Amino acid sequence: MSMAMQFVFLGPPGVGKGTYASRAGPQLGIPQVSTGDIFRAEVKSGSELGNKVKGIMEAGGLVSDDVVIEVLKKRITRDDARKGFILDGFPRTIPQAEALDGIAKIDMVLNIALPEDILIEKISARRVCRNCGDLYNVASIDREGIKMPPMPPKEEGKCDKCGGELYQRADDKEEVIKERLAAYNKQTSPLIDYYREKGILVDFKPTAGPEEMVPKIIELLKEHGS
C-alpha cells in the first residue's frame, strides 16, 4: 500500500461515519476530515464563517457548495493530510462530488447503510460533548440482525475525555432527523450510483458495535488504498 489513502465515507445521517472515521483514521495515520465538525468549531468560535452557517446548521440545512468546497480545499492541504484522509460528510451532492474530483483522487468510497428506523433511534440517542465534541450514544439496538450496544459515558452527562457537558444537538432531534434523512435521500443517495459507476464504491452494512466493525473497515481501506 502506498502513502496516498484518500477515502470517502458515504451514508445517511447517524449511520456511524464519524465514529468509524475517527477510529480508523488514527490506525492508518490519516485524519478524519468532517466538514460538519469544521463548521461546528467555527460556530463555537464565533467567527465570521461560523455566524454565517449557524442558522443553516440549526435548521438541519446544507451549507452552500462554494463555502464547503473552499473550506475542504484548505483542510486537505494541511500537513497531517499529506498521507491521505477520510472524508466524513462530504460530498453530499453530485456537483460537490464533481468538484471533489478536481481537487483529489479518491481511492474508495465506503457506502455505509442501515434501515431508516434504526437510524432514527441511533441519532436521537446521540450525545455530544459541548467542549471537545466527543460522541456518545445511549441507544441499545438488537433487531433485524443488527446488534449495537450503547456507547454511554462512564458518568452520565459528562464527557470521559474532558469532563465537559454532554448534550443533544438540535439537528439530532427526531423531527429534524426525518428532514435530514429526506434531504439525504433526495440529494445525496444519487452519489451511490455516481461512485459505483466509477468502480470505487464498496457497500458496508454494520451489524454490531464499532469494536467489531472498525477492524473490518480498516481491512477494506487497506485493501483499496492506492
Is 222 a domain residue?
A: no
Is 78 annotated in the active site? no
Among 10-14, 56-60, 184-188, which stretch is predicted with the lowest mean pLDDT?
Answer: 56-60
Is 226 a domain residue?
A: no
Residue 2 clears pLDDT 60, i.e. is over it: no
Q: Model confidence at 105, in pLDDT bands (50, 70, 90)?
A: very high
pLDDT at 226: 58
Cα-Cα-Cα-Cα dihedral of 74, 71, 169, 20, to 10°? -50
Q: Model confidence at 45, in pLDDT bands (50, 70, 90)?
A: confident
Q: How many residues does the structure list for the chain?
A: 226
Is 58 a domain residue?
A: yes
Is 23 annotated in the active site? no
Is 17 annotated in the active site? yes
Is 180 annotated in the active site? yes
Range of the domain at 24: 5-216
The one catalytic residue among 23, 92, 122, 127: 92
- CATH number, domain of 207, equals 3.40.50.300
Is 221 a domain residue?
A: no
* Dihedral sign computed on CA atoms, order 108, 36, 33, 17: negative
By CB atoms closer than 10 A (0-12, 13-18, 19+), residue 123 is buried
Among 61-75, 134-148, 181-195, 212-226, which stretch is predicted with the lowest mean pLDDT?
Answer: 61-75
Residue 171 clears pLDDT 90, i.e. is over it: no
The residue type found at 143 is: R
Is 196 annotated in the active site? no
The one catalytic residue among 40, 75, 127, 180: 180
State pLDDT tens for residues 51-100.
888 888 777 677 788 888 888 888 898 899 999 999 998 998 999 999 99
Is 151 a domain residue?
A: yes
Is 140 a domain residue?
A: yes
DSSP category for residue 111:
E
The one catalytic residue among 169, 178, 196, 216: 169
For residues 23 and 149, give the distance between their C-alpha atoms in angstroms, rounded to a whole number.
17
- Counting residues of the chain whose pLDDT is more than 70, the rounded percentage is 98
State pLDDT tens for residues 15-41.
989 889 999 999 999 999 988 888 888
Is 116 a domain residue?
A: yes
Is 225 a domain residue?
A: no
